[in-house]
Amino acid sequence: MIREDFPILNSSLYFNTAYVGLMSKSLFNYRNKIELEYLHTGDKFKIDANDKINSIQKSISDYINSDKSNTFFVPNFSIGIRIVLDRIWDGAKVLTIAEDYPSIISAIEERSFTVFKLNFSNEIEELIYDSIKNNKIEVIILSIVQYITGYKINFQFLNQLKNKFPDLIIIGDASQYFGTDFFDFSNSPFDVIISSGYKWILAGFGNGFLAFSKNFLERTNSTKEIIYDKVYVGHFDILSTYSLLFAIRKLKDINFKSLVKENKRLILKLKNELVQMELNPFLNKKGSDSSILSIPYNKKIYDLLIKNKVYFSLRGEFIRFSIHFYNNQSDVENLVTILNQKNN
C-alpha cells in the first residue's frame, strides 16, 4: 500500500481517515472487475457469492482471530450494533459514555434498558469502575477509540474489569481502531466487537463485521444460528462485501508491523509539535495514543486549514486530525508549517 495508490494525496493534505478512509486505485480497479463479472455472468454471480459466505467469514475471523462461526459481515456498524443489542434482555443495566459515537447512543436509547451515562474525562476508567461496582452494571458499550478526542481505552483496564466482574458483558466499537493496529479478539476482554470498514480498513462504503464470544452467546441465550438468520436476512451487497475482503487481504499482505510502527512515530511527532505550538492537543494520560489527534476549535486555524486544502474534521469543540499509513513525514511537516501561520 503506497501513496501512489491514492491520487488525492497529490493535491492535498489528507488528515481525515477518522471520517472516511481513502479509496485506493487498487480497490477501484478490483470493484470494476467485480462489476464486469456481474455484467457477464448474471445469476451465477449471486449464486457464487452465496457459496462464499463461509470463506468471507473465515477471512474476517483470521484477521481478528475470532471464531469463524461467530463472525459475521454486516452493512455497517449501525446495523451491527442493533443486531447485538436485540439479544440483550429488557431492563439490563447498561453503561456507556455520554459523548460516545451517536450510533451507539441512539441504538441504546431505542431499547428498554436501564441506562447509565458517564461524562467523558481523562479519569473515565475510574468512573467506569465505580459505576460498574455501585450500580451493578451488566453491560458496558463503548468505542475503543473515542471519535472526538482520540482517547483509546486501555485493554489492560478492561481485562481487570473482566477479572473483577466476570459476568460483565463488554461490547466494543472498533471502527476507529481496526486497520490502525493489531487486534486479537480471542485474547481480548471483549464479548462483542463491531466495526465499519470504510474508515481505517479502507474498504469503501456498505460493509463491516462483528464477532461474538461464547460468553455473550451463553449470557444472552443466543446461538450462532439465531445470529446468522438475523444478519443474513435477504440478499447482501456483494460488491461492498467483496471490497471488505479485498481490503483485509491488502492489510494482511503488506508489512503491517512496520507501518504501525511508522504511523505511531508520525503521531508522536505531530503531538509534540502541537504541544510546542501551545495548541493544547487532547492527551491520553491513561492509555496509549490512537491515530487521532484533536485540538480545541480556533477559527483562525480552521480558516488556515481550509485555505491550504487540508482535510480534517470538526467534532464537538475540537478540530480533529487523523494520521494513516498513506500519510508521511512530509505531510506532517507541511501541516505544522500551515499551523505555524496562526500568528502571522
Q: Give which of 67, 56, 57, 94 is closest to 217, Cα–Cα.
A: 67
Please check the confidence at residue 263 and state whether its pLDDT lies above 60.
Answer: yes
Count of alpha carbons within 13 angstroms of residue 21, beta-carbon side:
29
Q: Residue 153's pLDDT is what? A: 95
Q: Which residues pair with 211 in a beta bridge?
A: 71, 193
Alpha carbons 201 and 212: distance in angstroms, whole number:
20
Q: Which three cell numbers stand for residue 291?
A: 491515530
DSSP 8-state code for residue 16 = B
Say whether both 186 and 80 belong to one domain.
yes
- Give helix then strand counts, H and E, for the chain: 13, 12
Length of the chain, please? Answer: 344
Residues 68 and 91 occupy one common structural domain? yes
Angle at 233 between CA 22 and CA 220, to 5 degrees: 95
- 53 — pLDDT class (breaks 50, 70, 90): confident
The residue from 253, 280, 313 where one domain ends is 253
CATH number at residue 296: 3.90.1150.10
Q: Given a cut of 60, is residue 71 above it in pLDDT?
A: yes
pLDDT digits (tens, 9 = 90+) for 187-207: 999 999 999 999 999 999 999
Task: Determine the pLDDT at residue 6.
Answer: 96
Mean pLDDT score of the chain: 94
Please say which residue of 253, 287, 322 terminates a domain: 253
- The answer, yes or no, to whether residue 233 has pLDDT greater than 90, is no
pLDDT of 1 above 60: no
Confidence bin at 234 (pLDDT 50/70/90) = confident
Beta-strand relationship, 208-212 and 71-74: antiparallel
Look at residue 332 and tell me whether its pLDDT is greater than 70.
Answer: yes
Residues 78/103, Cβ–Cβ less than 8 Å: yes
CA separation for the pair 208, 325 (Å, rounded): 20
Show the cell assigned to 211: 464477532
Distance of CA 271 to CAs 145, 179, 227, 274, 336, Å? 17, 20, 42, 5, 10
| Helices marked H in the chain | 25-41, 43-51, 53-64, 77-85, 102-109, 124-135, 155-164, 214-219, 224-231, 238-253, 256-276, 299-307, 329-339
Mean pLDDT across the stretch 21-31? 97
Q: Percent of the chain scored above 70 by pLDDT?
A: 99
State which residues form the domain around 333: 3-23+255-343
Q: Do residues 249 and 259 both lie within one domain? A: no
Q: How far apart are CA 95 and CA 118, in angstroms?
A: 8
- Statement: the pTM of the whole predicted model exceeds 0.85: yes
- Residue 199 and residue 175 in contact, taking contact as beta carbons nearer than 8 Å: yes
Q: Are residues 117 and 241 in the same domain?
A: yes
Same domain, 126 and 245: yes
For residue 216, the domain's CATH number is 3.40.640.10
The tens digit of pLDDT for each residue in 266-310 reads 999 999 999 999 999 998 877 678 999 999 999 999 999 999 999
**Total tally of structural domains belonging to the chain:** 2
Residue 29 confidence (pLDDT): 97
* Amino acid at residue number 325: F
d(CA 179, CA 328): 17
